[in-house]
Amino acid sequence: MLRDKYIFETKSTGIKRKLMMTSFLFLCFLFCYVLFCFYIVLFARNKKIEATDYFVNKEPDLIVVLTGDQGRIAYALDKAQNNPSAKILISGISATNSLRTILIKQGVTTSVEEYLRHQAYQIELDYHSRTTFENALTIRRYLERENQNYKNILIISSDYHIMRIALIINLLMKDNDGDVVQNAEVPQFFYDSTNSPYDEFRLYKLLFKETIKIIQTIPYFVLWEKS
């Protein structure tokens, strides 16, 4: 007659099992994190291709550059040179800067005076925004205030930042009851970005912080949908 056999776990095997389970869960989390980081960069690259293809034979009505990291303003000014009819909004400027100091820092190819004389009227500086959400609100308020029929808007930032700004812009533009762009259709938003050099360790730290910030953005979506 066969009897059931019971295997009792000892303290050492229990600790070993918990360590293996913890290690497995950590590796799963690490894999998902790396995959998500890769997707953030891939998302920006795809948006860049989409914007490049769309603006082959046309100019954006408005170019918005979000400050916060190296190369963004210089990249936007290059875009502005190739799109002379586009208005430009630089969002997140510190109070100590002006358009003149910005141009000097960016090393514009023409003289600063000539640049100001021909293009200053097309450029507006936003000194109030300190976060990405405030950047997006500034864009919305700018559209409300200008009340222009902007059809195509190009937003420029770093590649690791594009996904979050795109999510927030889509969130803010869901309200189509006349509060977003009065007497006009909601424009199309396109995204272009600087290519971050991921051979620098600081970029991986920024990418890690960006994944946390994207997760922190989720409550905004929940609260916005309920409001």
* For the chain, domain boundaries: 46-194
Please, what is the angle between helix 162-172 and helix 132-146, to 10°?
50
Lowest mean pLDDT among 23-32, 63-72, 151-160, 209-218: 209-218
Mean pLDDT to the nearest integer, 154-177:
86
At residue 180, the pLDDT reads: 46
Q: Distance between CA atoms of 188 and 111, rounded to whole angstroms? A: 34
pLDDT digits (tens, 9 = 90+) for 57-105: 899 999 999 998 888 998 998 898 888 889 999 999 988 888 888 887 8
pTM of the model: 0.82
In CATH, the architecture of 46-194 is 3-Layer(aba) Sandwich (3.40)
Distance of alpha carbon 24 from alpha carbon 98, whole angstroms: 53
Sign of the four-CA dihedral 196, 200, 206, 207:
positive
Nearest Cα to Cα of residue 117 among 134, 142, 100, 102: 100
Q: Work out the pLDDT band at 176, boundaries 50, 70, 90.
A: very low
Going from the C-alpha of 79 to that of each of 1, 59, 60, 196, the distances in angstroms are 85, 10, 10, 18
Confidence at 185, pLDDT banded by 50, 70, 90: low
Residue 198 has pLDDT above 90, yes or no: no
